Amino acid sequence: MCLAMPARVVELCDGDLAVVDLDGVRKEISLALVEDIAVGDYVILHAGYALQKLDIEEAEKTLELFRELGASSA
């Protein structure tokens, strides 16, 4: 069971809860499984829980790699 998606944390609440935003849709989720999350971070969301913080730098690196692969000799 793998359906999960990255969403941006917009608010930290009491009791390990937070509000995330996915393109304007807001949802309350649990941060019980992660640590050191700040507003503005992206987390991978699964079944109402954040599983991991998204590494933005790595995300950009991966996309850059995809672009390079596509650009190299046709």
Q: Residue numbers of the site for another protein (CB under 8 A)?
A: 1-6, 8, 21-27, 29-30, 32-35, 42, 44, 46-49, 51-52, 54-56, 58-59, 61-63, 65-67, 69-74
Give bridge partners of residue 28 from the DSSP assignment. Answer: 19
- Give min distance, CB of 38 to another protein, in A: 16
- Give min distance, CB of 9 to another protein, in A: 13
Give bridge partners of residue 5 from the DSSP assignment. Answer: 45
- Give min distance, CB of 56 to another protein, in A: 8
Distance CA 50, CA 4 (A): 9
Alpha-carbon dihedral sign for residues 40, 22, 52, 33: positive
